Structure 1
């Protein structure tokens, strides 16, 4: 038997074995159908990142936007005197001849020559220099135990409850 005939026979036997296994077990049948549906829902006819070059570059926030965001982020941790001192330092930093203005100009020059001025810094800081676990501190994710759904309705109900819980969590955090 030549190699091509062997591969054809092997593939047919494998398909028949799989088909018998699936048809003989309704739970297995649902899993197989679910996997096919999942793959068809996530499949794309376009290559990943095909239109990346059409996207605008990451904008550089203005110095005043950065200062405003900084002050807002530290405010809950400072008493009134510390907050006033922080605001004073920020005014000096962002003054016309302040170091912040010079650094902002350098950042804008960097942004003019790169697609994404933040990318290298982010990759180095978040993934290479930071010594805490990436999954928890940089790229949080969730892992759930395997769920064995009897039908599509159960899977959709579970998914809807998960989305509802995530939205409730967001509301609890952000109001």
Structure 2
């Protein structure tokens, strides 16, 4: 369908744009496409055929400008990928927190997203009065929904996102590593 709409010469330019990642040519314009249904179908087909690597936008004269997608629509790309293409139905991430309970943070996340706390999994709870990092899994919740949640939570950060077919649950912990810091100690060593 794309080649039929564009014609052989313009289609060759679009292929060159795709192969060179938008370096040569920087953009390609279609002929005028009058019908809205045809334009909509064209946009969808371009996204599918070129895996969202090319961006299509309307011009004032009913043509479509085709250019390399420089990350402006990465959210659309992420949302268009299936769970299998992402790597699994569980989004796993590292949770850094200072003086916060694991359940408190998970509860805040679930309220902000509008889901139940049981959609989050973790291998064990961490001490409230400490600086801790632990892995957390979220069932069918994408990274782009989790990442902005820490903006309003002091002492909480998330990162190191990956997708897996397996979620975390209590008991999955294979060990802990601690660094203990004593502050304001009045202990005097025996000499």
TM-score above 0.5: no
TM-score normalised according to structure 2 size: 0.20
Please identify the structure whose Cα radius of gyration is greater.
Answer: 1
Which of the two has greater helix per residue?
A: 1
Which of the two has greater strand per residue?
A: 2
